[in-house]
Chains A and B, each alone.
Chain A
């Protein structure tokens, strides 16, 4: 079966369906994002700025320094006052970003839809630590040359630890801690939102699915296609719902911090 605008026939497994649904997913994402952004424009009130102060005089250099401080402050305070949860939060973000954007398989996927993404190919990290071990212990280089410098990544033996396999282990642990934290919040009868479960459970499931597929567990093509398909489908659900969930913070984070900086530094002349 071919679904409208589909690129592949939908067969007996989830993989072609998942690929077919990628473009519609992006449409939904953009529609949602536009809706969210439009609401900001509609409710925007031009601020009335009282005065730039005569007694404080903040220099351009200080303004830039404060911009860095604005972005760094929450992590700095978090590490001091809530070290465990802050460390888990920060590491989880780092690992998630690495795995989404630098895992070789993901990079190929992104580059297929956004060709300039190829520029980042030298940063690709492999699926497992085997590559790094081969490079390190055997001094081996890829046997065949490739049109892209793809397999010649810049990480070298570092991929013994920097690889999809290990990062996924970490990610599963961090996400499990997050989920446990959410449960503890429920126990303490503090506010928890449906969106929290939506995001963390989906992410957790998605990481596990991706891991099973790449690790070929169970080891046959039928399951591989279905697991990979399911992995992509869950990712598509996450992407499509980003504008309506906490996931959108990956974009809005910058907006919030820039607003804070603008408010304090440009409007208040903080010094």
Chain B
């Protein structure tokens, strides 16, 4: 994907200078050239990206209309590397007027510049998918959409030269339907069922959106349904104004272009967060021009001066109340249903503000045992589920700050001996109005130190809970093991002793078993009392249990060295 600056220019024909240049190229040309930049290189990735675009649109539409989303995805293989994708939702539906914009105008949204916790920050949009269908098959896409007033069907394509939708064949349907169904064909793609395939995308979307019901039918005709585990629609994310500390010159220039304000001082107060009279006054003292100036006339250099001035002024930290985490309870339920681990813990950290002035928050979960982890052939591998604002990140795993955070946690300290091959699923959702993606593909977050550290802290906290679980499980196992050992020897002791002192062995055995039970109960109470709190305690306890296991192994000697006399 081109950087935001370029996109903004493309998206805004009024942004004079570059827009002219842009108009001279066809949108399709641009699209072809930049295909790999937009995350469409790779036949698997292309298909997953298309699914992502449609699902994101559907989820956003449903949530905006306060509807619990129900989305069906169907991929049909028409011939080799040729698929028909159908996505149906129960959203509010589109109108004759809006359907064209939604599916037939590239980069039409204004969302590229809004500071808001959005899942649709990456990718090409549903119109990009239309373009791609057109480019690879020459066909139009087919849409059925029903709102409260009417249900229509139409065929749709993009006039690449003018970036305008072409809607044909509009029919009014008599059936009752509310929602949108889009059906499109694509070539030069490949459906695979792996960690980066469409099914995994849908699965992870279901995990991060417990209020949505998702159904997926793969090319072999198999349908998998991910039921919703929550019945509340998440609160709508709020749009927040840029904080002076985080705003870039380019962003401020853009804000200045479209502002309603007539003077720079009111422009600053209206468009920026935490900008009060005192701060404006301070800015005025630091810049070389009069803040009564019309903001529409500000030059790049003047804006640069202001941004520089902001760095020397103390502002209240940005608001964090615009962040919308999924929530511990919901994450827990959804992971329990979809991942089915033996044990899981969820940790939501408090919101933080980055150096750059953006609020962010981290939610993680460590799932252990059961069906957690990823099966590769006969082996287990750690599964790392990365999310940015609830949207799954499936690509660029290696270069992602989330992966980095997971890899640098010393899992051994939490009772997980070999994290690479442990039955472990690690869930990480980074929430921010401004996700620091690496590069244009927006499939990985940058190795930002503050964010990586925050994720690490969350994982360690969750890891401690896992360690406690592993320890208590190990305690229980050892207790059972001890009980078994004492019991089998108690019988022998009773027989041997009974014979030695000429007494009935039964009461002896009975009394011994009583004592065993009493002792084990005492041990348990002792262990509870000493419950480990700190990392070091946990580590020590894990080590102790390890040793105890070994000692027990030694107590039973192997049958060797048959010859044995004295000395």
A, B from the same assembly: no
Q: Footprint of A on B, CB under 8 Å?
A: none
Q: Footprint of B on A, CB under 8 Å?
A: none
